[in-house]
Structure 1
Amino acid sequence: MGKDAFRCVECNEKATELHRDYNNGILKLTICGSCQKPVDKYIEYDPVIILIDAILCKTQAFRHILFNTRLNIHWKLCVFCLLCEAYLRWSLLHGSEQSNDPADIIRYTKEWEFYAMFGSATLELSAFCISVLWFLWLVVVQLQGGAIDFSLLLRALLLSCYGKVLLIPTVIWEHDYSPLCLGLIKLFVLTSNSQAIRVILNSSRRLSLSAVCVGVLSEMCVAQACKKLPWSVQDIKMKM
């Protein structure tokens, strides 16, 4: 990373280094010149502790992950979460129905609908991210005259969707789950998205929540539009 590439996890002040490496493997944490606290205390923490603080949506943990690490798994995480969400929607659509006949057209219909669910989830996530970026560009850049690193902001949005990994138990165990559980997962993901925006822009909670609300509205519009499309083979045949 280049000069002033790091951030203090406490006050968001820029820093040139996180620690100094002395002889014999002795490391000393860099002290922030603004708040007089360690620039990044998390470099001495166990990854499990960092993950717990991130789940608790602590600002310091988000700054550590987004500014002071080279965690570039956001695209892989995005695809993985989309696959889980697609399978979840597909299983909700068909329940536990199974077919042992390899030539059964219903089985291929279900496979097509799984890919359709994946495409639908991808479109919804794209609409969410694009709407959030557009809203922040309009408010921060056009109205306030500020600047935004859109690549960093997009990375933050995708990484903050890590809460969708909570869908994995439903994919593995295939048990009956309540809409309340899925609603709580969605709320957690949106809360993480809002916190990520606050950390990247160092903005108010009102701005980040407004951006998330705009993204959710756009996502809902795309979801409603996707429901009107013929996702199943039977529907396509009926229209032919």
Structure 2
Amino acid sequence: MYICINCGAECKELFRRYCPSVLKILKCEKCGLLADKYIEYDPVIVFVDLILIEKPAYRHLLYNSNFKSYWKISIILWLAESFRAWSLCDINETELTASKVDLVHNNGLQDHCNIYNLLLHTALAFAAFICMVIVVTELKWFIIGKKPYKYSIKDLSCALIVGGCGKLLGLLGIVWQHIASGPYYLLIQGYTVLCLLTAYSVVCKSGRGGSLIGLIAGFLLYGYICTSISKLHLNISNITLT
């Protein structure tokens, strides 16, 4: 069963093929618009609309396409975010060395900036984010007593992976050696939040306000893990040297 990319209603079929080179896209019985215009479009157009955070593009990708390589995207996100964190650590370590900061802080930073530690921390933060969003969403459905049609934990996980692709823009800052890395990363975070809100609303059939409620616990846990692990390394180094 497919869905209309405009209103989200279920559709038994999206098109009818009359011959190998001729097909006709059917209209949605509910809204009267073409059920999925992206069938005739080049994948590049779909990709551009995903970047522009268009809900129809997300519906097409998640429900009407044959795309199955979400695990590949998750690995790319994991490696990209770990590499971004490692590059920032390298910059901070250079600044600390140049400013002759005390040995405790420098050693703590070196332990935290180990690439294997960063890979582990990033994987833990991503997994915790997805699990927390799923738990909060399931709790919301339990309280409401009703789930949207075609909702599944698998679709929600895939939507969160697709929505998180905005973080890949952080690699551009590394390549270009952006001067104002802080504000630049905040813009990327804001864009990623919008992508996640759109992807979540597509799967859970909710507005962006309702989607924010489902995602906010995941954001808080993700931020807590990222900050607490850094402090943990610093405290361990402090205890060891003491």
Task: Decide: shared fold, TM above 0.5.
Answer: yes
| Letter of the 1:166 counterpart | L
| Runs of 4 or more above 6 Å deviation | 109-112
Question: Which whole-Å CA distance do the structure 2 matches of 1:124 and 1:180 have between them?
Answer: 22
59, 77, 82: which one pairs with 2:78? 82
Deviation of 1:168 (Å): 2.4
- Decide whether the 8 Å contact of 1:87 with 1:171 is kept in 2: no
Task: In structure 2, give the amino acid aligned to 1:119.
Answer: L
How does 1:145-184 map onto structure 2 within 5 Å? 145-147=145-147, 148-184=151-187
1:226 and 1:186 map into 2 onto residues whose CA distance is 20
Q: From the superposition, tell whether residues 114 and 176 of structure 1 become closer, same or farther in structure 2 (CA, over 3 Å).
A: farther
Deviates more, 1:18-27 or 1:179-188: 18-27
Q: d(CA) in 2 for partners of 1:23 and 1:219?
A: 51
1:86 maps to amino acid: S
Q: What is the count of residue pairs matched by the alignment? A: 224
In 2, Cα distance between the equivalents of 1:135 and 1:180?
30
**What residue ranges of structure 2 are gaps of 5+ in the alignment?**
95-106
Shift of the 182–202 alpha-carbon distance from structure 1 to 2, 3 Å rule, reads: same
Amino acid at match of 1:66: L
How far off its partner does 1:167 sit?
2.0
Q: CA deviation at 1:47?
A: 2.0
Supply the AA of the counterpart residue of 1:115: Y
For 1:137, the aligned partner's letter is E
State how 1:206-221 maps to structure 2 within 5 Å: 206-221=209-224
Which residue in 2 is equivalent to 1:50?
46
1:102-155 Cα distance to aligned partner (Å, 9 max, x none): xxxx9xx68971111121111111121111111111112x11112341011101
**SS of the residue aligned with 1:34?**
coil
Q: How has the CA–CA distance of structure 1 residues 227 and 111 changed in structure 2, closer, same or farther, with 3 Å as cutoff?
A: closer
User: What TM-score comes out, normalization by structure 1 length?
Assistant: 0.84
Q: Which runs of 5+ in 1 are unaligned?
A: 98-105
- With the length of structure 2 as denominator, give the TM-score of the two structures: 0.83
- Residue number among 25, 30, 33 corresponding to 1:29 in the alignment: 25
Does the aligned pair in 2 maintain the 1:161–1:193 contact within 8 Å?
yes
Q: Which amino acid aligns with 2:126?
A: L
CA distance in structure 1 between the aligned counterparts of 2:233 and 2:172, rounded to whole angstroms: 29
Structure 1's 154 and 165: CA in aligned 2 closer, same or farther, altered over 3 A?
Answer: same
Q: Which amino acid aligns with 1:83?
A: L
Instruction: Give the conservation status (yes or no) of the 8 Å contact 2:4–2:36.
Output: yes
Change (3 A) 1:26 1:131: same
